[in-house]
Amino acid sequence: MIHQIDTTDNIVAFRALAEVTKDDFLTAVIPAVEHLVKQLNEINFLLVLDTDIQNFTAGAWLQDALMGLKHLGKWNRAAIVTDSDEIISFTNGFSYVVPGEFKGFRKLDFNKALNWVEGNIDIK
């Protein structure tokens, strides 16, 4: 399941717990991202992974990919917060293949990730 995290109006943030399904994306993530795009014409996104990546169903991955492709030119900043070195490395490499900035952060650095996505700090 995915829960939206209350944040400032210029980002959408979520926490993933247990199994993440297609319906989680259709009912929580996609509507929030669509609303943000209509308001700001860009996407600032934060996802905290409090579950293993293997707990994302195939339908969840498909909806994630479709959302990303639909708004390919709208991505501004996206952070994934996890303690997985592999996911952090993968996220950091994403900036080289798609528009926008993508960064992985450790769970200990949640506030740093949130401030970066909100545009309050720059990280090189």
Q: Does residue 91 lie in a domain region?
A: yes
Q: Does residue 82 lie in a domain region?
A: yes
* This prediction's pTM: 0.91
Give the pLDDT of the chain (124 residues) as one tens digit per residue: 999 999 999 999 999 999 998 899 889 999 999 999 999 999 999 999 999 888 888 877 677 777 776 777 898 999 999 999 998 998 888 778 888 999 999 999 999 999 999 998 888 6
Instruction: Please provide the DSSP assignment of 108-124 as one string.
Output: GGHHHHHHHHHTS----
Q: Does residue 18 lie in a domain region?
A: yes
How much is the pLDDT for 36? 96
Neighbours of 85 (CB within 10 A): 10
Q: Does residue 41 lie in a domain region?
A: yes
- 43-50 and 12-17 strand pairing: parallel
How much is the pLDDT for 67? 77
**Structural domains counted in the chain:** 1
Q: Does residue 124 lie in a domain region?
A: no
Q: Does residue 61 lie in a domain region?
A: yes
The domain in which residue 21 lies consists of: 2-118
Say if CB 7 and CB 46 are below 8 A apart: yes
Q: Does residue 123 lie in a domain region?
A: no
Using a 10 angstrom Cβ sphere, with 0-12 exposed, 13-18 middle and 19 or more buried, the burial of residue 93 is exposed
